[in-house]
Structure 1
Amino acid sequence: MNRDVIITCAVTGAGDTVGRSPHVPVTPAQIASDAIAAARAGAAVVHIHVRDPETGSPSRAVELYRETVTLIKDSGVDVVLNLTAGMGGDLVIDAEDPLKPVGGTDLVNALERLPHVEELLPDICTLDCGSLNFGEGNQLYISTPDMLRTGAKRVQELGVKPELEIFDTGQLWFANVMVEEGLIDAPALFQLCMGIPYGAPADPGVLAAEVNLLPEGANFASFAIGRDQLPWVAQSVLAGGHARVGLEDNLYLSRGVKATNEQLTERAVDIVQNLGASVATPDRAREILGLKERAGA
Structure 2
Amino acid sequence: MRKIIITAAITGGAHTPSMSPHLPVTPQEIGDQAIEAVKAGAAIVHLHARNPEDGRPTGDPEIFRQFVSRIKAETDAIVNISTGGGGPGMAIGERAAAGVALQPEMCSLNMGSINLNLSEMASKDREWRYSWEVEHLNATKDLVFRNTFSDIEWILRTIGDTGTRFEFECYDVSHLYTLKYFLDKGLVKPPLFIQTVFGLRGAMGAHIEDVMHQKRTADRLFGDQYHWSVLGAGKDQMSLATLAAIMGGNVRVGLEDSLYIGRGELAVSNAAQVRKIRSIVEQLGFEIATPQEAREMLALKGKANTNF
Q: What amino acid is aligned across from residue 188 of structure 2 in structure 1?
A: I
Offset at residue 194 of structure 1 (A): 0.5
- Of 187, 194, 206, which aligns to 1:190? 194
Q: Which moves more between the two structures, 14-23 or 274-283?
A: 14-23
Q: Is the CA contact (8 Å cut-off) linking 1:223 and 1:233 kept in structure 2?
A: yes
Q: Which residue of 2 aligns with 1:174?
A: 178
Q: Which residue of 2 aligns with 1:108?
A: 91
- Of 265, 270, 290, which aligns to 2:299? 290
Q: Which residue of 2 aligns with 1:269?
A: 278
Structure 1 residues 172-222: Cα deviation after superposition (integer angstroms, max 9, x where no partner): 111111111111121111110001111111122111111122212211101
Q: Is the CA contact (8 Å cut-off) linking 2:85 and 2:96 kept in structure 1?
A: no
Q: Is the CA contact (8 Å cut-off) linking 1:129 and 1:175 kept in structure 2?
A: yes
Gaps of 5+ in 2: 120-140
- Of 78, 87, 95, which aligns to 1:80? 78
Offset at residue 170 of structure 1 (A): 1.0
For the residues of structure 2 that align with 1:19 and 1:188, how far apart are their CA atoms?
Answer: 36
Matched, 1:160 2:167: no
For the residues of structure 1 that align with 2:116 and 2:96, how far apart are their CA atoms?
Answer: 22
Q: What amino acid is aligned across from residue 83 of structure 2 in structure 1?
A: A
Structure 1 residues 57-99: Cα deviation after superposition (integer angstroms, max 9, x where no partner): 110111111101112123x221111110113663xxxxxxxxx
Matched, 1:119 2:125: no
Q: Is the CA contact (8 Å cut-off) linking 1:229 and 1:250 kept in structure 2?
A: yes
Offset at residue 122 of structure 1 (A): 1.1
Q: Which of the two has greater helix per residue?
A: 2
Q: How does 1:126-275 map to 2 (within 5 A)?
A: 126-135=108-117, 137-214=141-218, 215-216=222-223, 217-259=225-267, 260-275=269-284
For the residues of structure 1 that align with 2:30 and 2:49, how far apart are their CA atoms?
Answer: 8
* Aligned positions, number: 279
**TM-score, structure 1 as length reference:** 0.90
Structure 1 residues 89-124: Cα deviation after superposition (integer angstroms, max 9, x where no partner): 63xxxxxxxxxxxxxxx3314x44333222222111
Q: How does 1:81-100 map to 2 (within 5 A)?
A: 81-87=79-85, 90=88
Q: Is the CA contact (8 Å cut-off) linking 1:10 and 1:248 kept in structure 2?
A: yes
Q: Is the CA contact (8 Å cut-off) linking 1:9 and 1:246 kept in structure 2?
A: yes
For the residues of structure 2 that align with 1:133 and 1:233, how far apart are their CA atoms?
Answer: 24
For the residues of structure 1 that align with 2:147 and 2:180, how far apart are their CA atoms?
Answer: 16
Matched, 1:278 2:269: no
| 1:196 counterpart SS class | coil
| 1:227 counterpart SS class | helix
For the residues of structure 2 that align with 1:89 and 1:244, how far apart are their CA atoms?
Answer: 20
| 1:140 counterpart SS class | coil
For the residues of structure 2 that align with 1:23 and 1:34, how far apart are their CA atoms?
Answer: 10
Q: Is the CA contact (8 Å cut-off) linking 1:27 and 1:53 kept in structure 2?
A: yes
For the residues of structure 2 that align with 1:151 and 1:89, how far apart are their CA atoms?
Answer: 16
For the residues of structure 1 that align with 2:305 and 2:228, how far apart are their CA atoms?
Answer: 28
Q: Is the CA contact (8 Å cut-off) linking 2:111 and 2:178 kept in structure 1?
A: yes
**TM-score, structure 2 as length reference:** 0.86
- Aligned residues: CA RMSD: 1.6
| 2:159 counterpart SS class | helix
For the residues of structure 1 that align with 2:31 and 2:80, how far apart are their CA atoms?
Answer: 13
Q: Is the CA contact (8 Å cut-off) linking 1:29 and 1:71 kept in structure 2?
A: no
Offset at residue 234 of structure 1 (A): 1.0
